[in-house]
Amino acid sequence: MQAYEIIEDAIRTILTERDDEVPQLKRETQISASGLDSLDIAALVVRLEERLGTDPFKNGALTRFPRTLGELAELYTQHSGLA
């Protein structure tokens, strides 16, 4: 599975677990419009580290914070070596 699919799956899991409606998710979807609050996003990063073995937000190497799900996926792709 590619980074984007894994991220979308993780977001769906978080939202469906608590019976929240899942908005339409696309690469262009803003992270802030994905239905997650700031604590959910922190939890998402922890979950993604478990699944992808990397946390691109660690160590302050990040120069620009991703805004869309596509940009988030790209960040993980760069760090985890996923295609």
Work out whether 21 is an interface residue with another protein (CB under 8 A): no
| Interatomic CA distance for residues 37 and 77, integer angstroms | 23
Q: Rounded to whole angstroms, how far apart are CA atoms 21 and 1? A: 24
| By the rule CB under 8 A, 83 interacts with another protein | no
Cα angle value 45/51/10 (rounded, 5°): 60
Is residue 55 a contact point for another protein (CB under 8 A)?
Answer: yes
Contact with another protein (CB under 8 A) among 19, 21, 63, 64: 19
Q: Using CB under 8 A as the criterion, which residues of the chain lie in contact with another protein when the complex forms? A: 14, 17-19, 37-43, 45-47, 55, 57-58
